[in-house]
């Protein structure tokens, strides 16, 4: 049998009397990286450059520009085998070379070069890694760039994970013999269901027909739950037909119609990889897999982590002296070779959702070769595939009432009630009350059984003041501690019996409301405000509604703060003052504004100027390009700002509005036109 293998198509073009030679081929790039990273934490990623054929390529240039918020420590390279030869790594794989353009000397048809990049994230914000390749004879420039955006933030206090349901996915899908789509089912694995996503969702994975370069009709046979004992994995598997109409063994080229000698180690992957690389076997063709994206997080949540793993199992028949037949398929982006003898599985690799991946396949044997009944194939949904969302589910406590109550010794005490809300409406808040001898909401005594939104303190035979507070918990480790309320056991009434005090949003103002049951010698109330709950200032004074400062009926008060801090938390309390200058403080009530997300930005697309309004006057405006480089920065000194775009090139940019005082940040993309 003729074992020679013709590779490539030589195209001759006559230019001005001289000949220029080129090999047209499809070179592509994929980048696989994290969707989030911790401040200063690990942010490693990989870049895979692949030659999808039909010809060899040389001197392919890969560029991954440096970006802010990311430090690259090292770059390593691994070259895979192709048709007739193996790829070659660059002579020097360094961060500087990667940023300026690193040249891959040789990339045979069907091979890949995989760069593993060790990196560390910055302290905050986000960055986008963009990898691009350049090859003059590339016949498909549409896959010459790939990007992944990573957001940097501390680990949220609540997380929810969804994992693939392999059995459910198999039951809900049927095979398309010439290609189709499998909707992978993901179900809630841990945490509380995310609003808008629910307990389950599907991710589409589209697979193409077998594209046999010899014109033979190869077909898919089934969608099953496949497994690999050697890998210890299961998954949703696409099984190719290996007997009858559409079999991989039909119409084999002459180079693939006889037995093959043993190799060391003699496993399916190593046999096919070695035989194709040395020209003893021809690859039959290719197919592509497009991986859908996981659902985007709703407002208030973030995509924390995701994993998509691919692996395959083939088949090899051998009698101890030769390999009589077999079939095999493998992603071009996988340079790893299974080295365990007798194992049919290909080593798994990570892939990035939202991207396309090409695999090649091959078979050899005589005309009677089949693998009927053997359930092996391409796993498009590994049992370890998952996605995790993170969010802050710390409840917002709007009020704890009454703020103060005074009772006589041995008298029944009134019920204290906390009113709270939280982000994740699918989880139920939990409550735990504490008592304290000092006016502090830490270090108190746990009250057994006091785990509802309301608590009634027991009667007391002795006089004195006891303070109470409640810890309200959401999902995960998220919790919020209320301010204190007090119960005074005394036979002498207080100057003011405060029934309630609460603050709430009223448009872009804060509305404060409180009620008193009785007042004695009350001059009025200082309205005190803080942005951190520690440092207070008086913003106004409200006189007692009783002209004499004395009242035995319920009095209702209100006050509007016309200028709350619109990008963060506003804490309020009352400082009650007697005519004899004795003072007392109410509980603390908090109002949270997030007006950054309501900032108006127009027009979009913009040509010369981007207008920004509804600012608070102390924001920093920054503009970043698609490579994460900061290209403009301006401080806001009023409620509006005109941002000049004259120095920017045409393209897509990210505008960030941040407030250093509150720590809030808001981002929005806009388009700069000519």
pLDDT tens-digit map of 605-633 = 888 888 887 777 778 899 988 777 889 99
In terms of Cα–Cα distance, which of 376, 385, 302 is closest to 350?
385
| Percent of the chain whose pLDDT exceeds 70 | 94
What is the maximum alpha-carbon separation in the chain? 115
DSSP string, 559-579: EEESS--TTSEEEEEEEEEET
Domains of the chain from N-terminus onward:
1-153 (2.60.40.10), 155-392 (no CATH), 396-592 (2.60.40.10), 595-672 (2.60.40.3080)
pLDDT of residue 637: 82
pLDDT of residue 7: 33
| Contact (CB, 8 A) for 236 and 169 | yes
Tokens of 498: 């405060």
DSSP 88: B
| Percent of the chain whose pLDDT exceeds 90 | 67
Contacts of 63 (CB under 8 A, 6+ apart): 98, 99, 100, 101, 102, 131, 132, 133, 134
526-543, pLDDT tens digit by residue? 999 988 777 889 999 999
| Contact (CB, 8 A) for 163 and 386 | yes
156-170, pLDDT tens digit by residue? 999 999 999 999 999
Under the banding of pLDDT at 50, 70 and 90, the label for residue 5 is: very low
In terms of Cα–Cα distance, which of 182, 199, 328, 326 is closest to 260?
326
pLDDT of residue 344: 86
| Contact (CB, 8 A) for 358 and 332 | yes
pLDDT of residue 43: 95
Rounded to whole angstroms, how far apart are CA atoms 198 and 189?
A: 12
Under the banding of pLDDT at 50, 70 and 90, the label for residue 371 is: confident
194-251, pLDDT tens digit by residue? 999 999 999 999 999 999 999 999 999 999 999 988 888 999 999 999 988 999 999 9
| Contact (CB, 8 A) for 67 and 124 | no
255-297, pLDDT tens digit by residue? 999 999 999 999 999 999 999 999 999 999 999 999 999 999 9
Mean pLDDT computed over 477-506: 87
Lowest-pLDDT range of 12-16, 191-195, 349-353: 12-16
Residue 642 is inside which H or E element, if any? strand 640-644
pLDDT of residue 564: 86
pLDDT of residue 366: 80
DSSP 81: B
The CA-to-CA distance between both ends of the chain, in Å, stands at 63
431-453, pLDDT tens digit by residue? 999 999 998 999 999 999 999 99
Q: What is the 3-state secondary structure (H, E, C) of 196-254?
A: CCECEEEEEEEECCCEECCCCCCCEEEEEEEEECCCCEEEEEEEECCCCCCCCCCCCCH
| Contact (CB, 8 A) for 520 and 493 | yes
| In the predicted structure, residue 660 carries a pLDDT above the cut 80 | no
pLDDT of residue 119: 96
Residue 96 is inside which H or E element, if any? helix 95-100
In terms of Cα–Cα distance, which of 509, 514, 480 is closest to 584?
514
Under the banding of pLDDT at 50, 70 and 90, the label for residue 662 is: low
Q: How far is CA 71 from the centre of its chain?
A: 20
| Contact (CB, 8 A) for 393 and 424 | yes
DSSP 142: G
| In the predicted structure, residue 308 carries a pLDDT above the cut 50 | yes
Rounded to whole angstroms, how far apart are CA atoms 103 and 105?
A: 6
Judged by phi (left if over 0) then psi (alpha if -120 to 50, else beta), residue 509 lies in: beta
Q: Given the structure tokens 């070259």, which residue do they identify?
A: 79
In terms of Cα–Cα distance, which of 201, 220, 198, 199 is closest to 209?
220
Q: What angle do CA 399, 400, 404 make, to 5 degrees?
A: 125
pLDDT of residue 18: 30
Kindly report each contact of residues 538-545 with a partner whose C-beta sits within 8 Å and lies 24 or more positions away, as own/partner: 538/575, 544/519
Tokens of 436: 């304290």
| Contact (CB, 8 A) for 442 and 469 | no
DSSP string, 475-520: STT-EEE---EEEEE-SS--SEEEEEEEEEEETTEEEEEEEEEEES
The CA dihedral of 174, 178, 180, 182, to the nearest 10 degrees, is 40
Contacts of 240 (CB under 8 A, 6+ apart): 210, 218, 219, 220, 221, 248, 327, 329, 361, 377, 378
The more confident residue out of 6 and 492 is 492
Residue 168 is inside which H or E element, if any? helix 166-171
Q: What angle do CA 273, 45, 121 make, to 5 degrees?
A: 170
The chain-wide mean pLDDT, for the chain, equals 89
Q: Helix-strand-coil percent breakdown of the chain, rounded to 5?
A: 5, 50, 45
Rounded to whole angstroms, how far apart are CA atoms 642 and 620?
A: 13
Rounded to whole angstroms, how far apart are CA atoms 625 and 627?
A: 5
The more confident residue out of 46 and 506 is 46
Rounded to whole angstroms, how far apart are CA atoms 583 and 460?
A: 25
Contacts of 513 (CB under 8 A, 6+ apart): 500, 501, 502, 503, 504, 556, 557, 558
| In the predicted structure, residue 596 carries a pLDDT above the cut 80 | no
Contacts of 211 (CB under 8 A, 6+ apart): 285, 286, 287
| In the predicted structure, residue 62 carries a pLDDT above the cut 80 | yes
Tokens of 428: 């139920």
| Contact (CB, 8 A) for 468 and 415 | no
pLDDT of residue 404: 84
pLDDT of residue 566: 74
Lowest-pLDDT range of 125-129, 187-191, 286-290, 651-655: 651-655
Lowest-pLDDT range of 8-12, 44-48, 375-379, 415-419: 8-12
């Amino acid at each position: 049998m003729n074992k020679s293998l013709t590779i490539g198509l030589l195209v001759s073009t006559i230019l001005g009397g001289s000949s220029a030679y080129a090999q047209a081929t499809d070179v592509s790039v994929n980048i696989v990286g994290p969707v989030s990273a911790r401040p200063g934490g690990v942010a490693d990623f990989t870049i895979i450059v692949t030659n999808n054929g039909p010809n060899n390529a040389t001197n392919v240039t890969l560029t991954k520009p440096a970006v802010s918020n990311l430090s690259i420590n090292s770059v390593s390279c691994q070259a895979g085998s192709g048709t007739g030869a193996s790829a070659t790594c660059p002579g020097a794989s360094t961060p500087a070379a990667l940023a300026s353009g690193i040249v891959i000397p040789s990339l045979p048809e069907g091979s890949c070069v995989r760069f593993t990049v060790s990196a560390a994230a910055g302290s905050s914000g986000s960055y986008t890694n963009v990898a691009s390749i350049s090859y003059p004879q590339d016949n498909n420039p549409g896959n010459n760039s790939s990007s992944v955006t990573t957001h940097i933030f501390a680990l949220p206090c609540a997380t929810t994970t969804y994992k693939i349901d392999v059995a459910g996915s198999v039951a809900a899908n049927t095979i398309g013999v010439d290609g189709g789509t499998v909707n992978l089912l993901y179900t809630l694995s841990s945490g509380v269901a995310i609003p808008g996503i629910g307990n389950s969702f599907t991710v589409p994975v589209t697979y193409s027909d077998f594209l046999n370069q010899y014109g033979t009709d190869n077909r898919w046979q089934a969608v099953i739950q496949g497994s690999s004992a050697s890998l210890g994995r299961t998954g949703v598997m696409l099984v190719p037909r290996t007997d009858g109409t559409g079999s991989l063994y039909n119409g084999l080229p002459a180079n693939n119609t006889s037995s093959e000698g043993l190799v060391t180690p003699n496993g399916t992957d190593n046999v096919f990889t070695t035989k194709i690389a040395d020209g003893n076997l021809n690859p039959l063709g290719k197919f592509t897999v497009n991986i859908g994206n996981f659902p985007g997080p709703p407002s208030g949540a973030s995509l924390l982590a995701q994993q998509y793993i691919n692996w395959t199992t083939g088949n090899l028949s051998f009698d101890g002296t030769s390999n009589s037949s077999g079939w095999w398929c493998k992603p071009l982006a996988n340079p790893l070779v299974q080295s365990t003898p007798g194992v049919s599985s290909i080593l798994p690799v990570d892939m990035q959702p939202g991207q396309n991946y090409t695999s090649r396949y091959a078979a050899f044997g005589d005309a009677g070769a089949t693998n009927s009944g053997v359930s092996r194939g391409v796993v498009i949904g590994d049992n370890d595939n998952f996605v995790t969302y993170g969010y802050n589910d710390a409840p917002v406590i709007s009020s704890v009432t009454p703020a103060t109550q005074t009772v006589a010794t041995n008298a029944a005490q009134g019920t204290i009630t906390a009113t709270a809300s939280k982000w994740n409406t699918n989880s139920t808040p939990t409550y735990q009350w504490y008592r304290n001898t000092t006016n502090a909401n830490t270090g108190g005594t746990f009250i057994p059984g006091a785990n509802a939104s309301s608590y009634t303190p027991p009667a007391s035979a002795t006089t004195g003041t006891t303070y109470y507070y409640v810890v309200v918990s959401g999902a995960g480790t998220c919790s919020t501690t209320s301010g204190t309320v007090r119960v005074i056991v005394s036979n002498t009434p207080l100057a003011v019996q405060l029934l309630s005090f609460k603050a709430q949003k009223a448009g872009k103002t804060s509305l404060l409301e409180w009620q008193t049951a009785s007042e004695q010698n009350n001059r009025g109330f200082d309205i005190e405000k803080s942005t951190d709950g520690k440092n207070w200032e008086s913003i106004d004074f409200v006189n007692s509604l009783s002209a004499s400062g004395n009242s035995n009926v319920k009095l209702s008060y209100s006050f509007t703060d016309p200028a709350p801090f619109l990008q963060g938390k506003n804490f309020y309390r009352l400082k009650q003052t007697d005519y004899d200058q004795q003072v007392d403080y109410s509980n603390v009530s908090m109002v949270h504004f997030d007006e950054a997300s309501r900032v108006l930005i127009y027009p979009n697309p913009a040509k010369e100027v981007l207008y920004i309004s509804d600012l608070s006057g102390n924001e920093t405006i920054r503009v970043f390009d698609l490579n994460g480089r900061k290209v403009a920065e301006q401080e806001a000194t009023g409620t509006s700002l005109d941002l000049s775009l004259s120095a920017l090139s045409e393209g897509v940019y990210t505008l960030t509005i941040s407030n250093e005082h509150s720590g809030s940040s808001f981002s929005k993309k806009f388009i700069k036109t000519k």
